[in-house]
Structure 1
Amino acid sequence: MEKRYNFTQIEKQMQEFWEQKQIYKFNPDAKGQVYSIDTPPPTVSGSLHIGHLFSYTQAEMAARFRRMQGQNVFYPFGFDDNGLPTERLVEREEGIRANALPRSEFIEKCRRTTEKYENEFKTFWNSLGFSVDWASEYQTISPEVQKISQELFLELVKMGKAYTKESPVLWCTECRTSIAQAELDTTDIESTFNYVPFYVDGYPLEVATTRPELLYGCVCLFVNPSDERYQQYIGKSAVVPLYDYEIPIYTDEKVCIDKGTGVVMCATFGDSTDAEWYDEHSLPYRKVILPDGSIDNDVPHIGGLSISDARKTIIRLLDEHRLLFKSETITHAVGTHERCGKPVEIIPSRQWYIDILSERERFLKAADEINWYPSNMKSRYIAWVENLKWDWCISRQRYFGVPFPVWYCKNCGEPVFAEKDQLPVNPLETEYKGICRCGCPEFIPESAVFDTWATSSITPQINERLGLKLTPMSMRTHAHEIIRTWTFYTIVRSLYHTGEIPWNDLMICGFILARKGEKISKSKSNNELDPKYLISAHSADVLRYWTAGARLGTDTFFSPDELEVSKRFITKLWNASKFAISHLQDIDTEQTPDLLPVDRWIIERVNETAANAARLLYEYEIGSAKHEIDNLFWKDFCDNYIEIVKERLYKPDIHGAEERKSGQYALYYALLNIMKLYAIYVPHITEYIYQEYFLQYEKKVSIHLTHWVKPSQIDNEIILFGENLKNIIFEMRKYKSERNLSMRTEMDFLNIHTDRCFEEWFILTEKDIKACTRAAKINYIFE
């Protein structure tokens, strides 16, 4: 082995070896229980950052672990390359707006962009040493996946679970499309509470509002039925300031008595409560805000203005007309679109929905059938489902997505649907051949496309396109912020389409934070730590080892300084292996010698660690398992065992040839199995060491096709003996260190305090102890 580990050459060499030998190719007929992973298809919305490296790598380690437990791992990968995130990427990179180009031209730009980024993503995952079977790769925009998505949509229509209606919908004026509740973020913004008079019987009734630009859209006032201040107003009419038309005064228990004046104006639409009242009280609609974020031209005073300019104008006019009693600066939470960060409006529009509200209890029950890792993430899911207010809006007024296989009768508006053998179909390019029930032969194609989640929510079914029965899949992994979207939506679709939960286990990862509370993301300015650079500068294994350090589900901070520990580990693993292998050149692996106690101890510690780490990894505690292995490697193997056995390996003429063989056997066993334990974390260096030395004795072509040792039981007595021995070594080192003595300083004698049951083992280990401690004589003091 070389003096230093050259990762720049070796990591690439190992990746090429794995590809050439098809080490990770899934064979459905192979031995072992199938362990299937529902990997999140990364959204093609920009370059990958270290946050992706963190969560995807933790899951990849789980895949490697299962493979080394003898399971037949199905580890597919896909790309979520359609919908709004991809379109926004193209708009940013090209400096254009989608609606400024012919639809076909913009879609072609999207296709070229996704192909470029997917090639980059794939190269990146491979550079990290991912054990993915790329033969099972998919793209959510591909004709194959479009067919599956459209087919399952039609299935929902037949079930009565997908429907279309005209109603208030969440709308992003920046992205010019409807959105779903799950795409809402909440942002605190500075605004004003404006107190204005609505006149009732000639007297002012004071109302506080943050949305004065919606005065023209006001359709009624609400008070709480238990608010004694306003009992005399209930059932009367009020005059809207500036616009001088009358509206009724109603009661509703949702009115907060302590907020503002306790009188609330209901406009179409200021917020989700306005939308609820609109349905519950059968209120009229007054148009104010248009889909592009401007005010309708028919609105007096502010027609044609932007929302922010309209608000300023109305406040000025109210003040000029002495209709602004006071204005308070406040900070309040508003709903924003997670994709662009702009405040979300509510406007009426015809959209497609999937029914989720009627099956809320079913979705809550499903949570109990899934194993959540960590378990506390289940509460986030439950809170989300319990607080759902809207059915899932799945239509988007965009271009690059899976088309709805729907046309509408030109006469009566009734929707008609494609046949299964037509799929995939784009109704904008294919005429509907048929006659509506009303007798009309002409049809208008649907121009909207599926929300990207409507397709990525069926990844278990997409994975089954290869002919495998996978549902429920073994494991789904992703970060905690998409529990409300990807977790929830996939549970919905799986229950509707298969009647089963989509997976048995959920592995929920945390975030990488740049500074306290700030997530690293593609849209922030804190992503200067390019993971491609970090890999080229520090190595994939160094990054992987660092990634494994965090507790599952918890957020962690990152800076390049964090990698120093990982680098020291790689150096230590290389040097320890180099030392061990130098003493194993003449080993006879066909013979098992009589083992000395200290050799039995290190073997048993390896077995114990394998069992403990496996127990943790079956619960996806990647970091806790690594901590167990680190303790074995650093403290037991390097700091103690190698130092204890070193002279016996160098000097068989003093210690005996058979005693040396005992040490060789234990050294081989310990190093090989430590390599296996670390292989899931640092696959490149462990594979290289395996190929350089162990391959000549082992049957498997790759260390990643070997299995971890699975001890039937652990010899706790020999473990306890080893702990006693370690304490003795520790006290000797402490004694010399406190007196500024070299560890090689000879000692006249060494007193060993121990239990008499260990007497024989200590006597058999005496030569090793003397060599390690430089003690001329050993005195035993039995307790």
Structure 2
Amino acid sequence: MTDTTNQRPENSHGDDAAATTANGGGIPTTYAPAEVEGALYERWVERGYFTADAKSDKPAYTIVIPPPNVTGALHLGHAFQHTLMDALTRRKRMQGFEALWLPGMDHAGIATQNKVEQQLAESGLSRHDLGREAFVEKVWEWKEQYGGKILGQMRRLGDGVDWSRERFTMDEGLSQAVQTIFKKLFDDGLIYRAERIINWCPRCLTALSDIEVEHEDSAGELVSIRYGEGEDSIVVATTRAETLLGDTAIAVHPEDERYAHLVGRTITLPLTDRRIPVVADEHVDPEFGTGAVKVTPAHDPNDFAIGQRHDLPNLTVMDEHGVITVHGPFLGLDRLEARSAVVGALREQGRIVAEKRPYMHAVGHCSRCHTIVEPRLSLQWWVKVEPLAAAAGDAVRDGRVAIHPKELEGRYFSWVDNMHDWCISRQLWWGHRIPVWYGPEGQVVCVGPDEEPPAGEGWHQDPDVLDTWFSSALWPFSTLGWPEQTPDLEKFYATDVLLTGHDIIFFWVARMMMFGLYAMDGQAPFHTIALTGLVRDQFGKKMSKSSGTAVDPLDWMNEYGADAVRFTLARGANPGADVPIGEDWVKGSRNFCNKIWNATRFALMNGATVEGPLPAPEELTAVDRWILSRLNATVAEVDGLYDDYQFAKVADTLFHFAWDEVFDWYVELSKTTLAKGGPQADAARRVLGEVLEVTLRLLHPIVPFVTEALWTTLTGAESLVVTAWPTADPARRDAAAEAEVATLQQVVTEVRRFRSDQGLQPAQKVPATLDLAGTVLPPHEDAIRSLLRLTAPEEGFAATASLPVAGATVALDLSGTIDVAAERKRLAKDLAAAEKDKAQTTAKLGNEGFLAKAPDDVVAKIRARQEAAEADIARITAQLAALPQA
């Protein structure tokens, strides 16, 4: 085990200890998180424990935080991922790495602009009343006043981030990085301007990324419309009848014989004087609906692709507000008003073949204002992703980047191998403005960060800003100073692990991979992508405010402490899987923290120490050797689990080792040794101090506050944050001691079960004799009696029950302690139930017809029931035999 003696400065105990009590071993009787956590965190920051040194000779370990929106507040998803990142960083720091966990925020273009526009609206103003420059100044003012709420909440959670390196995606340095890579991509022909179909919000008046569109089932209307006349007619179905005004073709499958005679001909478009062609396209599914679809290239992405293949015109029929622009009876109508009007007009002409309402279907809504999103043909800026995405795929395929868990590689490849060009322009005022200028003669000039924009009459800059994901795609290297070759960039790039939810593989992970490989000469932005699931409620359902299941993690932290919330989240963190969480589980973690507190307090009150070397094995009892052996096994196991990002198993392993083995067994067993005094008691105090000290170090990355308060009191040393991580000592593994204590545990467990079965209270004392001859147990007789509340037999002792366990025999006198008649009646009832279950299962398993037809898992369950019934019969029969005779 790593020796901590040399890391203990003189007189360093001082202000790191929690408040003392008269006889509490240096810590209060009960643990009060609110009195400990805030002060400890500020002390860590003030002492610079989280500040990384680019000049250090230590190996670097880097994580950049997925930047939360400047408008955001801490939610359970943040708390979950931050807990895991903090655990990784704290452990690596303790292992001797120069650990940098870099914090920051995203400017969140549309979300932030909406916040400020709402604020202006309260005063009866719009952004257009202020003008662009004044509005952007207003957004900066809002950011300084209200932005970054989440950063304070991160401190509450205990995030060990390097606050000296905090970044914001609109910082001057990051803005330079954005302009630099835009210029480089533009010059390399990887950024271009073109008309394409995009997600458009008619309320926010901007293009939206896919992640800004929320799809939800809505009750609409599916109408089937007859185009053309007689044998030349075709029926198509649509939920967006208003787009009929922009149809430029009908498409059918090339092998659909029903429409073969119409392909290449034209038919009349209803409500218009236009004729449109019937085209054959393999995109059409002949088995769906009528096998024919209307084609509106300017208002549907699939239709746009069909239009490109067949050289169809793009007819835009509504403006950016969703208002119809086609001259005629529908001119000026809102798109939803026009939908009803168009259906009404078609009905009057007898062209509605069928109507289905309500028709439930998925409809995209703007995630910010909940307006229905409109697919719209628009002139936008795009990134040509094919070569970038190919490089991102190759980096994983050739092993430069590992995805964990590996089974999620397929999801990553499904994105990068099928990625479409990326629309990067947004019609907003808040964000990184596109660095392109247009001249009076149609010139287009892209300006780099060190270049002056063209001047003169007629020149103007593109009014759009870049998609928020564009700047956040640079996050792993722009935050370290790129494009400058800074010491930070040299020391801390590439980052070691990206820990994030599997839901943003496409939106963020893949784009960081593309830009990192492109900007950093083929060096990927991280070595490992560790993907997590999403936090759910205790029933596995999505948390939501509307259903009343959303939880503010600050409420739980205020009630139970940050450590309890962190431990609960970590204990549910299986790789890639969603994380169910409920308040009862947080209460359980709070109880675990209290258990750690109370056990350490007991140890301190009984003289546990970390001073001096551990006694040699031959100077220790088997119980001491056992717990040291288990401790070293646990250190090795936890290391392997951390390296495999198995956070749930780390937490579960530590929980069971600390609670089951240290607190419930070793602490209890050591009480007998401590009571006897002498050299073995001194050795036990040293072992108890060692076990607790190392256990606190192992627990620290997940529950940093309670462990810090206890460890500094126990050791007198400066801080767990900067102490060494434990290393396993194979020499302390002791198979013989583990086997001996396992025998001891078997005896105690079996006798406890017998006592419980007999209805004895846990504290009730019972006279007993112990025959331990021929076993390893004689040295443990006092401990056995203490744990089992067995008193020495007095004159007149007569055993009424005898229990053979692990080669030993425990004989008890239960006379006068139980109601024998009532107990015999209860056991007889249980025996009858077990015998009935055995008879039923035996009959089924003896039925050849049943065995031939029943699934294997059903047969296996019945066999398990039979075995359980047989075990119950043997147990109850033995209990009946052990009862005193009436």
Cross-structure match for 1:748: 768
SS at match of 1:232: coil
Pair 1:467 & 2:487 matched: yes
Q: Aligned residue for 2:812?
A: none
Q: For the Cα contact (< 8 Å) 1:166–1:351, is it kept in 2?
A: yes
Whole-angstrom CA distance in 2 between matches of 1:287 and 1:691: 70
Number of residue pairs aligned between Structure 1 and Structure 2:
754
| CA–CA separation in structure 2 for the residues paired with 1:551 and 1:610 | 20
Alignment-derived partner of residue 34 in structure 2: 8
User: Which digits, 9 at most, give the CA deviation of each residue in 1:23-70, with x for residues without a partner?
Assistant: 221123445421111210101233322232122222222222222333
Counterpart in 1 of 2:846? none
Contact 1:690 1:703 in 2 (8 A): no
Residue 674 of structure 1 corresponds to 695
Q: Secondary structure at the match of 1:420?
A: coil
The answer for the alignment partner of 1:447 in structure 2 is 463
Q: 1:510 offset after TM fit, Å?
A: 2.2
1:529 aligns with 2:547: no
Distance in 2 (alpha carbons) for counterparts of 1:585 and 1:190: 68
- After TM superposition, the structure 1 = structure 2 runs for residues 228-627 of structure 1, keeping only pairs within 5 Å, are 228-296=257-325, 298-329=326-357, 330-368=359-397, 369=399, 370-388=401-419, 390-412=420-442, 414-422=443-451, 432-433=454-455, 442-465=458-481, 467-468=487-488, 469=490, 470-498=492-520, 499-514=522-537, 518-520=541-543, 526=548, 529-552=551-574, 553-584=576-607, 589-590=612-613, 592=615, 594-627=619-652
1:648 deviates by: 1.6
Q: How far has the Cα of 1:618 moved from its partner?
A: 1.2
Deviation at 1:186, TM superposition (A): 3.6
Structure-2 separation of matches of 1:184 and 1:380:
20
Paired position in structure 2 for 1:437 = none
Range 262-271 or range 601-610, more displaced = 262-271
- Specify whether residues 366 and 703 from structure 1 end up closer, same or farther in structure 2 by C-alpha distance, changes over 3 A only: closer
Q: Distance in 2 between matches of 1:753 and 1:444?
A: 98
Aligned-partner Cα distance in 2 for 1:117–1:373: 36
Q: Deviations over 1:668-718 (max 9, x none)?
A: 1110011111111211111111222212xx5x5435533123334643343
The answer to whether the 8 A contact 1:37-1:474 is kept is yes
SS in 2 for 1:288: coil
RMSD: 2.7
Following TM superposition, by how much is the alpha carbon of 1:595 offset from its aligned partner in structure 2, in angstroms?
1.5
Match of 1:425 in 2: none
Distance in 2 of aligned mates of 1:546 and 1:586 = 30
Q: Counterparts of 2:651 and 2:40 in 1: how far apart (Å)?
A: 22
TM normalised by structure 1 equals 0.90
Secondary structure of residue in 2 paired with 1:241: coil
| Deviation (angstroms), 1:724 | 2.3
- Separation in 2 of the partners of 1:166 and 1:243? 26
- Residues 331-358 of structure 1, C-alpha deviations (whole Å, 9 max, x = no match): 3334444444444323232211111135
Q: 1:779 to 1:502 in 2, by over 3 A?
A: closer
Q: Superposition pairs for residues 626-637 of structure 1, below 5 Å?
A: 626-637=651-662
2:105 and 2:148 in contact (8 A); partners too: no
The one-character-per-residue Cα deviations of 1:432-459 (angstroms, maximum 9, x if unpaired) are 238xxxxxx7422111111110000111
Partner of 1:40: 66
Return the offset for 1:106.
2.6
CA separation in 2, counterparts of 1:92 and 1:145?
27
Partner deviation per Cα, 1:341-393 (whole Å, 9 max, x = no partner): 444323232211111135544333333332222333322222233443x3011
Is residue 169–residue 347 contact of structure 1 (8 Å, CA) maintained in 2? yes
Q: Is the aligned partner of 1:702 residue 2:720?
A: yes
Secondary structure of residue in 1 paired with 2:702: coil
Query: Contact conserved, 1:82 with 1:141, CA < 8 A, in 2?
Result: no
Q: CA-to-partner distance for each residue in 1:712-765, whole Å, 9 max, x for gaps?
A: 4643343333322222221232233333054562543234598x7xx4xx4554
Instruction: Tell me which amino acid in the other structure corresponds to 1:313.
Output: A
Q: Which moved more, 1:54-63 or 1:399-408?
A: 54-63
Range moving further from structure 2, 285-294 or 167-176: 167-176
User: For 1:295 and 1:447, how far apart are their aligned partners in 2?
Assistant: 25
Is 2:672 the counterpart of 1:650? no
In the alignment, the residues of structure 2 paired with residue 393 and residue 770 of structure 1 have an alpha-carbon distance, to the nearest angstrom, of 75
Conserved 8 A contact 2:435-2:447: yes
CA 1:716–1:280 in 2, change beyond 3 Å: closer, same or farther? Answer: farther
SS in 2 for 1:604: helix
Task: Report the Cα distance in structure 1 between the residues aligned to 2:62 and 2:350, rounded to whole angstroms.
Answer: 68
Cα distance between partner residues in 2 of 1:780 and 1:208: 77
Cα–Cα, structure 1 residues 723 and 199, in superposed 2: closer, same or farther, change >3 Å?
A: same
**Deviations for 1:454-474, whole angstroms, at most 9, x for unmatched residues?**
000111112321532244310
- The aligned amino acid for 1:533 is D
Distance 2:248 2:505 in 1: 37
Q: Does 1:736 align with 2:755?
A: yes
What stretches of structure 1 of length at least 5 have no aligned partner?
423-429, 435-440
Q: Specify every segment of 5 or more residues in structure 2 that has no aligned partner in the other structure, as ranges.
A: 1-26, 794-803, 810-886
- 1:45-64 to 2 correspondence within 5 Å? 45-64=71-90
1:262-298 Cα offsets, whole Å, 9 max, x none, are: 22111133421111012222211212121122211x3
* CA distance in 1 between partners of 2:706 and 2:610 (Å): 23
From the superposition, tell whether residues 502 and 526 of structure 1 become closer, same or farther in structure 2 (CA, over 3 Å). farther
Query: What is the CA–CA distance in structure 2 between the aligned matches of 1:554 and 1:93, rounded to whole Å?
Result: 39
1:727/1:743 Cα in 2 relative to 1: closer, same or farther (>3 Å)? farther
Say if 1:748 and 1:532 are closer, same or farther in 2 by CA, change over 3 A.
closer
Q: In structure 2, how many angstroms separate the alpha carbons of the residues matched to 1:752 and 1:339?
A: 73
Work out whether residues 679 and 704 of structure 1, in 8 Å CA contact, stay in contact via their aligned partners in 2. no
Is the CA contact 1:85–1:339 (under 8 Å) kept in the aligned structure 2? yes
CA distance in 2, matches of 1:205, 1:419: 54
Aligned equivalents of 2:805, 2:301: Cα separation in 1: 82
CA contact (8 A) 2:693 2:714 kept: no
Residue 427 of structure 1 corresponds to: none
Task: Report the alpha carbon displacement of residue 101 of structure 1 after superposing the two structures with TM.
Answer: 4.1
Structure 2 CA distance for partners of 1:635 and 1:590, relative to 1, 3 Å: closer
C-alpha distance in structure 2 between counterparts of 1:591 and 1:227, whole Å: 84
* SS state at 2:743 partner: helix
Shift of 1:303: 1.5
- Cα 1:379/1:342, change in 2 over 3 Å: farther
Q: Which has the larger radius of gyration?
A: 2
Kept in 1: contact 2:197–2:299 (CA 8 A): no
Q: Secondary structure at the match of 1:75?
A: strand
Structure 1 residue 130: Cα displacement: 1.1
SS at match of 2:375: strand
After superposition, give the CA deviation of every residue in 1:66-103 in whole Å (9 maximum; x if it has no partner).
22333221111010024112223333455465455422
Shift of 1:411: 1.4
The counterpart of 1:688, out of the listed 709, 712, 715, is: 709
| Distance change (3 Å), C-alpha of 1:100 and 1:374 | farther
Partners of 1:731 and 1:743 lie apart in 2 by: 16
